[in-house]
Amino acid sequence: MNLFRDINRKVNKIERTSRSVNNTIRSINRTVNRNTPNNRASSNSKSTDTWICVCGNNNAGNFCAECGKGPVTCTKCSSAFQRPVKFCEHCGEKTTFEE
Res 47: pLDDT = 47
Within a 10 A sphere around the Cβ of 71, how many other Cβ atoms? 22
Q: Give the span between the Cα atoms of 90 and 72, in whole angstroms.
A: 13
Comparing C-alpha atoms, which of 74, 77, 72 is closest to residue 34?
77
Task: Report domain extents, the chain.
Answer: 1-35, 37-99
pLDDT tens, the chain, 99 aa long: 788 888 888 888 888 888 888 888 888 877 777 766 654 444 444 445 788 887 888 888 888 888 888 887 788 888 877 777 788 888 888 877 655
Res 42: pLDDT = 46
Task: Please tell me the pTM assigned to this model.
Answer: 0.40
Res 62: pLDDT = 84
Measured CA to CA in angstroms, residue 82 lies from 16, 39, 90 at distances of: 46, 12, 13
Instruction: List beta partners, residue 59.
Output: 51
Q: Give the span between the Cα atoms of 41 and 79, in whole angstroms.
A: 10
Q: Are 69 and 59 in contact (CB under 8 A)?
A: no
Q: Are 57 and 64 in contact (CB under 8 A)?
A: yes
